[in-house]
Structure formats: structure tokens, C-alpha cells
Amino acid sequence: MAQENLLFSKDHEWLRVEGDTVVVGVTDYAQHELGDVVYVDLPALGKELKKGDPAANIESVKAVSDVYAPVSGKITEVNKDLNNTPELVNQEPFAGGWIFKIGMTQASELQELMDAKKYEEYLKGIAGE
Amino acid sequence: MTALPKLIFDLSREGKIGCGLAEADVPAEPVIDSACLRAGIADFPEVSEVEIVRHYMALSRLNYSLDAGFYPLGSCTMKYNPKINEKLAAGDEFQAHPYAPHDLVQGNLEIMARLEEWLVVLTGMAGFTLTPAAGAHGEFTGMLVIRKYLQEKGDARKVVLIPDSAHGTNPASAHFAGYEIREIPSNAQGIIGIEELRAHLKPDVAALMMTNPNTLGIFESNISAIAEALHANGSLLYMDGANLNALLGIVRPGDLGVDVMHINLHKTFATPHGGGGPGSGPVGVASHLLPFLPVPRVRRNQDRFEVVYDDPRSIGRVKNFYGQFLVMVRALAYLLALGRENVRRVAEDAVLNANYIRKKLEGVLDLPYKTPSLHEVVFSDHGLPVKTLDIAKRLLDYGFHPFTIYFPLIVHGAMMIEPTETESKETLDEFIGVMNTILREARENPELLRQAPVQTPVRRLDETLAARKPVLKWRRGENI
Amino acid sequence: MRYLPLTDLEREEMKKTIGISDIKELFSCIPSGKCYPSLADLPPALSEPELIAAFKEMGRKNRFADHLSFLGAGACAHFIPEVVSYLSSRGEFLTPYTPYQPEVSQGSLQAIFEYQTMMTMLTGLDVANASLYDGATAAAEAVLLAVRKSGRSRVLLAASLHPEYAAVIRTYVQNLPIELQTVAINEKDGRVDENDLNSKLDGATAAFVFQSPNFLGIVENSRSLAAATHAREAHAVQVVSEAMSLAYLMPAADCGVDLVVGEAQSFGLSLGFGGPYLGFMTAREEFLRQMPGRLVGQTVDLDGKRGYVLTLSTREQHIKREKATSNICSNEAWCALRAGMYLAVMGKTGLARAARTCHLNAAYFAAAAASLKQIKVVYPENFYNEVLIEVKKGRAGDFLAALKKKGILAGVPMNRFDTAWQNRLLLAFSEVHDRKAIDRLLVAMGECA
């Protein structure tokens, strides 16, 4: 299920590197755990975040989950489609369900993330618990 | 299945009259500029009195209610609402404007004073405020009292400890009182361990908010040691009294070291839930905290009753007027009917009923905590071929309101069952029988549960749609 | 005992099933030294006839009902049609729990959906919640909401807000990083002093909270106040303590107000010596996700049938816990249901008529009072149903006492709220009054030297 050219965080965010910017969303595992997404609270453009800060949050009917900034930087774009169609997070978690873009300030932080293979192993580990 | 009732707006027809009031008989003209007046209330219903009665009667038939059957919701204490209390609360003699001069409402002030006196004896707290409108309001009030007390001592602290099993109102109330929340985990017995508490007890801790019995229905047996440790640290013990029903006449929170607690009149004291309110959440405090209680307070002065409106050290006012007075009338009536002989019986029967259910179901459902239960028992969905939700929905088909589901959060697929003392053994046996039937269905034909309910007026409403595309009012031309 | 169905025989059977011989064993977890406190101070049980007698005795000590009352200031007696009491007292509406199992709660849910709709019709705003505790806490929640929404921390409160509402707001914000400032009243017309408002509005202001009709009974120029507030990008919050005014005055939404909150006791709830009452909140769409309280929404079920559920629950404490928009859980649901019944029964014409009568009665009094030597009507214009009078000769306390002896409660003495308002009384007029009652008041006032 993991996409080959993406990086992953322990909180089930995925990133796609596009030069100095990363596109961030949540993985298929995350959307499945969340259930039907009813609302996404997007971050303000220009907001400055440190790695690990809560950036957005996703609401399903019975729960709310924070989406954390997997790297430090500034919010450069948000996916406005989620305002009318929050279900994109469920339907296309890796494509149309992307959430925000960060202009990185510390590209070295990318090293701390998992690649597709490590994320798959990580998921297997969780399932085993 | 009956057709669902139309909305009142769809029954509306121009010219229909619901209530016949005469026009004003005074010779006067408006003194407000007509440009500031509205031209009418567009789309407001025009329905005859007859059709209104039919409309609400039809709606009433769609509701399950405590009057109709068992309501084993955990930590809600859905006990019988005595009907004489309704008649007394509706009495014309108790109707009065809250600003009526005190000499004209001595009876009402007496009701409030006597209720407070009962609560003091039952809980061992030194005094109560009756003003908070609900449990959460009481929690907020209690946390403000704690904060003011500590501020006055020059010891303003920032943190409140809250167990992981706590009801959501606890952290929310503490937050609005300006506190930071630090969660403290329950141990394997389902209670707060004294060592765990000590580990969390830093100088910045203002209080621990504890529910006792907790939301697992288990008595926090370390409470006295916990109170001692807190007090030695300069912290206070707040008790969420939602589960007081298990303790009436058995033990008094004031005797266990509790500094502040709230009570839910609409739980322990049998006032009707009304579909979600009104409640009433009196807050009791130990003597050193009395000066900080909100105003106003009713005071007995020999055979007269007075009201204190100003207290320089009070946290201030938390509500208009006196509080939920007509709810207090019902609570006092309930207590006077019980009398000293039956107070303890309430707790004993409540705990007996819960343990009977526990004994009968522990063979077929997973009991995550083996510690003894008081007035409620919590099972998990461990090992079940279906979800807790599916069991709950199938209960509806058998004519029972389900127990509380998915709370407390520390139990997976939690099923929290509180029968209360007002249920007969027959009802408990029927419920147990139905649970066994449903669990058998779950093994043999789980689809029955997943499709449930099938006997109710509507089935498995789409809550996702309701949240994605909120429709929160009727609009002409729209809606189904 | 009639509320305890278990018989002794059944208790024995159940103990046997559980495996205990004494009920005390179930309480072995309680520290033994503290167990079974003395209940000797409590009175003995009362049978139903004894209970009725006990309450009759207390009721005899109340003498409010013997008086003709013109008390208002946040609670007002209105006529309640009998069907409202009849229908709302049904066990199906009075005894259920919060509708968390919507399949068996469609009665309550649809009734509240109808209530929410009618409240938005009255204020003209987009959305209403399913209730708050009362007008004062609704005002406090509105302050918190405006602060959350704007990200700013200063709130201006009109001095003409009900003093108890202002007191509750102060209690609510006492430990939060919110600064309150008061905007003065213009003594000449009893309205908000717009110069003072403009001098205090700034880029840190989250909201301006004003009451209309205000505590002195005066209808504010909401359009102007809202415009001034918006010029500084703050939120305009109108508080209403006499809900009947909503059926008479221009809808607040048309004046540009963002939030209308307040007290809806006037919609079918008895005076009840102060409670339970009904806090309401209505707001523009943009506030929806920050709103406190429950919301009933429409949806469909598995078979495509229309139904109602509690929705947008992720705002609330049971999900968001300390990050919730409010700590409110139990609200005033039954009161909201009853208010919805009242509004439906009164209907478009009945409600408008009652609302108009409240104003005309007040106007009649004010005009006639002009010829009384003892009193002066402080603001003869722009009041809705409450008239502020000043006692010209002697003390207001003596004047009131003399009228009370004649069986009339001639208003609320304003000095109970502010010692600066020494000789002022606030009288409220409702459709329960008629010409005869008001004439009796006028005559009695004329007789009090």
C-alpha cells in the first residue's frame, strides 16, 4: 500500500518532496483508522511550524486527529478541495486527499523519516501488537 | 412501521390559529419608530391547536423513555422519576419571580435551605452552592473555587491531574478554569495507584479531579491516602459526584478527604433528564473553601431565610438568579420521600443490581477489570465476532435502550451498564436473557446484528452525511 | 418503599447468585472506619400524602401570588397556553436521556430541530444551537466564542448589559487571557454611548457585546453599533434578555449583528423562581464550527428516510475534551422542546400579537405616568416592554413598600444592581397585564405620597 517515492512519519503522515517544498497527507492506514472524514481544519497560509507541531486536524464523526508537521517550515499551500469534499482523504489519501504543503527550512530533517519499505515494516509491527 | 411525522412547518397553512389571545386593550400607540419594527415573522408556523397536539403526540410515539423501559446507561443513573414530584414542582404556590422580595418567598427559600442541609448530611461537605445548572457547570464552579483559594494563599498553580478514565467534561471544565491538564493512568485494578499519584504530584499541581466510584464502576479505594498526599503537597481533591448513587448512606466524600465535589440532581436525586436537561449541579466544599462559593447563597436564620448576595472572596456569580429552582423542588421531594430509612437502601439495591448483572454476564462477555464493581459494570468487546455498536443496535430491536457504548475510553469497545436501584429483578432477568440471545445471534448469524435495528422508526442514520453537509434548520423549498 | 422494587426474597436470591451472604460484602472496598455514617439527623420517610402536606406547608409561606407583579429585569411572566404544559409533561418528552441513540429519539430530535429553526427565523441568523443554561451563561459563551473565532483577546461590554450577565461573564473569563472593558451609557437617551464605543474599539478587540432591549429597557441602534464594531473587524454580539422582543423588533441579522444570544424563558417557561430557564445562541454560518452546545442536524437513514441526529459532535467535550468549544454536556433540552411547542402554538400571528401587546402596555403606562407627580419616566422613548422610572419625592424603597402594601410589586429597584441608581425602578409589562391592571397600578402610584 505504501507509495514508493514517498517518505513517512511515525504519525502516519506521508510526504512527497518537490524541490524545497514537501506535500503532506495522511496514509491509507490513517484514513482507515479515522473512519469517514467529515471535516479537515486546514492551517493558515504562512503559518510557521516546527517539526512535530500540530498543523491541521481531521474530524470524523466520533473523533478528531491532529496532523503534525513532519518537517519544520512554513505553510505555502493548502488543499481547498477538502473544504467541500473532505472524503477525498478517505478516497484518495495519497493523491487528491493531500492536505498542505510546507516550504522546508531544515531539509536535513527528511533523513529522520521512513522510506516506503520501513513504513510497511512499521505497519506490520503495529498490527502485531 | 408508521410514517414519520411531517415537520411543523409543513403542516403550516396561512390563517390557522394555534392560540387565541386578545389584542391589547390599552389605548396606546407604539413609541418605537416603525422602521425599527419587523413586518412579521416569515415562514413562522401557522398551525391549529388540534394539529399541534397531534404533531407532538406523533413525535412522542417515536421516543423511547425511562417511563417506558430500562435505561442502563452507565454513569447516568437513569432512575425512576417520581410523578408526585412533577405535581409539586408545577404547584402555583411555588411560582415566583426571582426578584420577588424575600418575605414573599420564604417557602421557596426554605426549600433551597432544606435541600442544602440534606446534601451536607449525605456528603459530609460543610456547605453547598445550589446555583450551577448541570454537572459540568458544577465542575467549572468547583475548579474556580480551588483556583481562587490557592491564589489567595499566594500559591497559584497551573496544573490539574485527571485520570484517563475521566468523563470529557472534567478536562474541559478545568481548561476553562484556566488550568493545564496532566493525565494520570489507571492501574491494572482500574483505579489510581498511590505511587502513580505521587509520581505525578509536582509543586505545580493544584488539584486532582477524581470520579468516585470511577467510570469503571470501581471504588477508588486509595482515596484517603491520595487525599493525604495531595494535601501534603498543598493540592486539593476534587470529586466528580456523578456516581454518588453507589455511596448514599454508605460513605461520605467529606470523610474521605474530598475538598470540593459536585452532585448531579438529575442523576442521584431522580429529577427527570428531559432529553438532555435541565439538570442541576450543586457544589459542596470543605469549610476552608466556603468563603469562595459563588453567590447568591441561602441562609437559615432561626425560622427565617435570607439570601447573601455579596461575598468579597466569592468567585462571583456563575448563573442568573438562584439556579435551577424547580429541579431543586423535585430533588427535595425525592429525599423527603426516601427519608433516613431508605437512603442506604438506594445504594445497596443499586450495587446489588449491578453485581447481579455482572455475575450473570461475566461468563459471556469480557470483563477487563476483575476489581469489584459498585453500581455499574463495564465489559469490553474482546473476543466478540461483532462490534459493540452492533450489539447496542440489536438491543433496540428487543425493546431495550442500550447501555453506554465506547466509554470509558480505556476499555476497548466499552459497554458500561448501570441498572440503578429502581429496576425490578424481572427487568434485570429479561435484560440478561436478551443479552444472551443477542450474543448467540452474534455467533450464529452476525448479519442480524449488523443490519439492526429493524424494528425502530429509522435505522442507522447517516451521521457522516449529517457532519459533512450540516442541515441544522428547515428552509422553505429545501429538505426532504 | 415505592421507588425500590426489590423484595426481601429477591434480594436473598440475588445475593445467592452473586455468592455473598451479606450486602455489606459488596462494600468491603470502602475504608471500614468511614463506612455507614449516622443518618440520624435526617428526617423519616414520608408517604405520598405526608409529602404533599409538607410541601403545602412550605407553599403557605409564599405570598408572591397574592400580588400584581410588574417585575422583569431578565425574567417575565407571559401567558402559557395549556397545550404547552400538557404536551411537555408527557413522559416521552420528560424522561428520556440525551438522544445518543437517535433511532429511538426521533421525537426529541425533530422537536429540537424545529426549535432551532424557529430561533433562526426570529433572529434572522443562520444557525441556532440546542440550548445553553440561561441568558447570562449564553452571553459568557458568546464572549468565549468571539475570542476563539477572532484570535483577539479584548472584549467590550456595554454598561447597559444586565448586571448579572456582566457578572457571569467576568466569572467565566477570570482565569483566561481575556480582557474586559466597559462601554458607557449615554445618560440622555439610555443607549450605548457611541463616542465611547468608537474610542475603545481597536485592532485587539474581539467583540462588542451589547444588550437590546438593554437593561434600562431601551432598544439600541443595533445597525449603528454593528457597523462601528465591524469597522474594526470585531464581532457584534447582541444579547437579548426579553425574547418576546424578537417577535416585535427588526431581526437582528438585518442590522448586521453576528451573534444573537440570550434568555428564552419568555417562550413558554414559567417564572419558576429563576429556573430552569433557557439560554439560546444563534449565529452566522461562519461561527458554526466554533459554536458551543449541541446541534441537531438532518440526515437520512439506511432506507433513505429523513431523520435527525446530534451532529458536529467533534466540537464537544466528550470528543475534544480540554480542546472543546465548551464544557457543556447536559443543557436545557426539555426547556428548548417546550419553547418550540410554545412558539408553534402561538404561531406567526399569536406571537406577534403578544409581542405587540407587551410594548403597547408599556407605552400606555409611560404616557399615563407622565401626569403622575410622584414619578418621572426616565426615557419616554425607544423602550420595548420595560419602563425605567425615577421616584421624585422620597425614597424609592418607601414608594415600593407602600405599593407592596396595596398588593402591587411595582418594579425592580435598580439600587440592588448599582448603588448609583438609587431612586430608580424598572417596571416590566407583558400581555398578561390588561388595561385594568395597569390602571390599578397608576391609581395606586397616585395614592402614594
Per-residue pLDDT tens digits for C326-367 = 988 899 999 999 999 999 999 999 999 999 999 999 999 999
Quote the minimal CA–CA distance from A53 to chain B in Å: 18
For chain B, the residues whose C-beta falls within 8 A of a C-beta of chain A are: 406, 463-464, 467-468
> Using CB atoms and an 8 Å cut-off, which of residues 181-210 of chain B contact chain C?
181
pLDDT at A129 exceeding the cut of 80: no
Instruction: Establish whether domains C65-79+348-447 and C82-342 are of one fold.
Output: no
Quote the minimal CA–CA distance from B412 to chain A in Å: 14
Taking CB atoms and an 8 Å limit, are B468 and A39 in contact across chains?
A: yes
- Write out chain B in H/E/C secondary structure: CCCCCCCHHHHCCCCCCCCCCCCCCCCCCCCCCHHHECCCCCCCCCCCHHHHHHHHHHHHCCECCCCCCCCCECCCCCCCCCHHHHHHHCCHHHCCCCCCCHHHEHHHHHHHHHHHHHHHHHHCCCEEECCCCCHHHHHHHHHHHHHHHHHHCCCCCCEEEEECCCCCHHHHHHHHCCCEEEEECCCCCCCCCHHHHHHHCCCCEEEEEEECCCCCCCCCCCHHHHHHHHHHCCCEEEEEHHHHHHCCCCCCHHHHCCCEEECCCCCCCCCCCCCCCCCCCCEEECHHHHHHCCCCEEEEECCEEEEECCCCCCCCCCCCCCCCHHHHHHHHHHHHHHHHHHHHHHHHHHHHHHHHHHHHHCCCCECCCCCCCCCCEEEECCCCCCCHHHHHHHHHHCCCCCCEECCCCCCCCCEEECCCCCCCHHHHHHHHHHHHHHHHHHHHCCHHHHCCCCCCCCCCCCHHHHHHCCCCCCCCCCCC
Per-residue pLDDT tens digits for B316-352 = 999 999 999 999 999 999 999 999 999 999 999 999 9
Instruction: Return the CATH superfamily for domain C65-79+348-447.
Output: Aspartate Aminotransferase, domain 1 (3.90.1150.10)
pLDDT in the model for residue A3: 74
pLDDT in the model for residue B479: 58
CB atoms within 10 A of CB C172: 24
Taking CB atoms and an 8 Å limit, are C26 and B423 in contact across chains?
A: no
Q: Which residues contact A106 (CB under 8 A, 6 or more apart)?
A: A51, A71, A72, A73
Nearest-by-CA chain B residue for C276: B324
CB atoms within 10 A of CB B16: 18
Q: What is the DSSP letter of C324?
A: S
Which chain A residues touch C320 with a CB distance below 8 Å? 64
Secondary element (H or E) of residue C207 = strand C205-211
Half-sphere exposure in the Cβ direction for C39 (13 Å, CA): 24
Of the candidates A12, A4, A3, A56, the one whose C-alpha atom is nearest the C-alpha of residue A31 is: A12
Per-residue pLDDT tens digits for A92-120 = 999 999 999 999 999 899 999 999 999 99
Quote the minimal CA–CA distance from C319 to chain A in Å: 6
Would an 8 Å CB–CB cutoff place A33 in contact with chain B?
no
Distances, alpha carbon B198 to alpha carbons B157, B182, B202, C340, in Å: 17, 13, 8, 52
Phi, psi of B350 (to 5 degrees): -65, -45
Distances, alpha carbon B89 to alpha carbons B80, B95, B430, in Å: 16, 9, 34
Place of cell 467510570: B215
Per-residue pLDDT tens digits for B55-69 = 999 999 999 999 999
Which chain B residues touch A59 with a CB distance below 8 Å? 467
Q: Residue C30: which pLDDT band, with cuts at 50, 70 and 90? A: very high
Which chain C residues touch A82 with a CB distance below 8 Å? none
C16-39 mean pLDDT: 94
Name the pairing type of β-strands B159-163 and B205-211.
Answer: parallel
> Using CB atoms and an 8 Å cut-off, which of residues 208-227 of chain B contact chain C?
218-219, 221, 224
pLDDT in the model for residue C410: 97
What Rg, from alpha-carbon coordinates, does chain A have?
14
A83-89 mean pLDDT: 94
Of the candidates A16, A8, A11, A35, the one whose C-alpha atom is nearest the C-alpha of residue A89 is: A35
CB atoms within 10 A of CB A117: 11
Taking CB atoms and an 8 Å limit, are C44 and B168 in contact across chains?
A: no
Q: What is the DSSP string of A56-105?
A: EEEEESS-EEEEE-SS-EEEEEE-THHHH-TTHHHH-TTTTT--EEEEES
Q: What is the largest CA-CA distance in chain C?
A: 84
Per-residue pLDDT tens digits for C373-420 = 989 999 999 999 999 999 987 789 999 999 999 999 999 999 999 888
Phi, psi of B335 (to 5 degrees): -65, -40
pLDDT in the model for residue C323: 83
pLDDT in the model for residue A2: 55
pLDDT in the model for residue A61: 85
Contact C376, C154 (CB under 8 A): no
Q: What is the DSSP letter of A114?
A: B
Question: How many CB pairs (< 8 A) connect A and C?
Answer: 17
pLDDT at B3 exceeding the cut of 70: no
C-alpha cell at A60: 470524523
Would an 8 Å CB–CB cutoff place A82 in contact with chain B?
no
pLDDT in the model for residue A1: 47
Place of cell 402610584: C445
Which chain C residues touch B421 with a CB distance below 8 Å? 3-4, 6
Residue to mutate among B57, B92, B99, with most C CBs inside 10 A, is B99
C26-54 mean pLDDT: 95
Distances, alpha carbon B142 to alpha carbons A85, C141, C331, C343, C387, in Å: 43, 18, 18, 36, 38
B386-396 mean pLDDT: 97
Quote the minimal CA–CA distance from A7 to chain C in Å: 29
CB atoms within 10 A of CB B374: 28
Roughly how many angstroms between the first and final C-alpha of chain A, as a whole number? 20
Q: Residue B1: which pLDDT band, with cuts at 50, 70 and 90? A: very low
pLDDT in the model for residue C279: 98
pLDDT in the model for residue C422: 86
pLDDT at C150 exceeding the cut of 50: yes
Q: Of A39, A41, A63, which is closest to C319 when you measure between CB atoms? A: A63
Q: Of B44, B104, B322, which is closest to C121 when you measure between CB atoms? A: B44
Roughly how many angstroms between the first and final C-alpha of chain C, as a whole number? 59
Taking CB atoms and an 8 Å limit, are B468 and A38 in contact across chains?
A: yes
State what percent of residues in chain C have pLDDT above 90: 92
Phi, psi of C217 (to 5 degrees): 90, 0
- Topology (CATH) of C82-342: Aspartate Aminotransferase; domain 2 (3.40.640)
Residue to mutate among B412, B463, B464, with most A CBs inside 10 A, is B464
Residue to mutate among C312, C314, C321, C323, with most A CBs inside 10 A, is C314
Q: Where are the domains of chain C?
A: 65-79+348-447, 82-342
Handedness of CA C162, C165, C169, C174 (dihedral sign): positive
Using left for φ > 0, alpha for ψ between -120 and 50, and beta otherwise, residue C343 falls in: alpha
Torsion of CA A36, A42, A48, A54, to 10 degrees: -30
B107-119 mean pLDDT: 98
CB atoms within 10 A of CB B273: 26
Q: Report chain C's mean pLDDT, rounded to a whole number.
A: 96
Q: What is the set of domains in chain B, with CATH numbers? A: 8-60 (no CATH), 84-337 (3.40.640.10), 347-464 (3.90.1150.10)
pLDDT at A4 exceeding the cut of 90: no
b/e burial code for range B287-317 (CB count within 10 A of at least 16 → b): eebbbbbbbbbbeeeeeebeeeeebeebbbb
pLDDT at B290 exceeding the cut of 60: yes
Which chain B residues touch C299 with a CB distance below 8 Å? 461-463, 465-466, 471
- pTM of the entire predicted model: 0.96
Per-residue pLDDT tens digits for C49-91 = 999 999 999 999 999 999 999 999 999 999 999 999 999 999 9
Per-residue pLDDT tens digits for B392-442 = 999 999 999 999 999 998 999 999 999 999 999 999 999 999 999 999 999
Torsion of CA C141, C142, C143, C149, to 10 degrees: 110
Of B4 and B46, which is predicted with more confidence?
B46
Half-sphere exposure in the Cβ direction for C290 (13 Å, CA): 17
What Rg, from alpha-carbon coordinates, does chain C have?
25
Of the candidates B446, B323, C289, the one whose C-alpha atom is nearest the C-alpha of residue A83 is: C289
Quote the minimal CA–CA distance from B171 to chain A in Å: 16
Cα–Cα distance measured from residue C282 to residue C170, given in angstroms and rounded to the nearest whole number? 22
Q: What is the set of domains in chain A, with CATH numbers? A: 8-119 (2.40.50.100)
Contact C132, C328 (CB under 8 A): yes
Q: Which amino acid is at B209?
A: M
Cα–Cα distance measured from residue C255 to residue C280, given in angstroms and rounded to the nearest whole number? 19
B196-224 mean pLDDT: 97
Neighbours of chain C (3+ CB pairs under 8 A): A, B
The A64-68 sheet, strands edge to edge: A37-41, A54-60, A64-68
Quote the minimal CA–CA distance from B201 to chain A in Å: 27
